Amino acid sequence: MTDFAVSVNGVTKEFILYHNRNYNLKEKLIGLVSGQFREKKEHFRALDDVSIDVRQGEAVGLLGHNGSGKSTLLKLIAGILKPTTGTIAINGRIAPFIELGVGFNPQLTGEENIFLNGTLYGCTNQQLKALYDDIVEFSELGDFIDIPLKNYSSGMQMRLGFSIAVHLEPTILLADEVLAVGDVSFQEKCLDRIRLLRAKGMTLILVSHSEDMVHDFCDRFFELEHGKVIRSGTTKRNQTDG
């Protein structure tokens, strides 16, 4: 498959969950005496042998309830997490718009975070200076751009993060439920920009609870449950286009 953008092959991701975590000597001694307070480790399998291929220029939706593994899969594709087993291959430049605060420093201003975040995407200062005004204008932050990010609301952080991601024109955009943050007019503005980038050939992997949104934006979908792919297929959009 030479035209792939993302190839997930047999990926499993396990986490270790600690119950009755003992943080000091007193708690450890109590745990030795009483079994109900003893520290226990549990291996939790968030993803179980998942394989997904996404072609260049394709839009794929990941559906599933909370805890199904879809956000974990997106973080693995972004490189934020590493798989326990299996492999993930990426062919292109990824912009992960996954959760608020990733790649940001709350102590820095919005302006400083534009340059910090853009550098993480591999852009030079010169490139970011050329894009700066457009990023600020799209984010609608105006006079707030020189205020530390720790004073931003979640909606303001979302505006800044999304604006940076789409103005760098990635070849692959990873978008999680954070698109639901903010007012309706800005959400529609975000979706319009995604449509524009999609028309230019950008690959999209979209996590959503909404089957309607996935059917509107995506060519195919995968539904996860308890870390496994239980259903996949083409969307109404793809069927209509075809």
pLDDT of residue 217: 84
Tokens, residue 196: 């524009």
CATH homologous superfamily of 4-32+44-241: P-loop containing nucleotide triphosphate hydrolases (3.40.50.300)
> Which stretches of the chain score pLDDT less than 50?
242
To the nearest whole percent, how much of the chain has pLDDT over 70? 84
Going by C-beta distance under 8 Å and a sequence separation of 6 or more, which residues neighbour residue 25?
none
Enter the pTM of the model: 0.83
* Cα-based angle 122, 194, 154 (whole degrees, multiple of 5): 75
Chain segment 53-99, per-residue pLDDT in tens? 999 999 999 999 988 999 999 999 999 899 999 999 999 989 888 77
Q: What is the CA radius of gyration of the chain?
A: 20
Residue extents of the structural domains in the chain: 4-32+44-241
Pairing of strands 172-175, 203-207: parallel
**9, 46, 182 from 50: Cα distances, Å:** 7, 10, 32
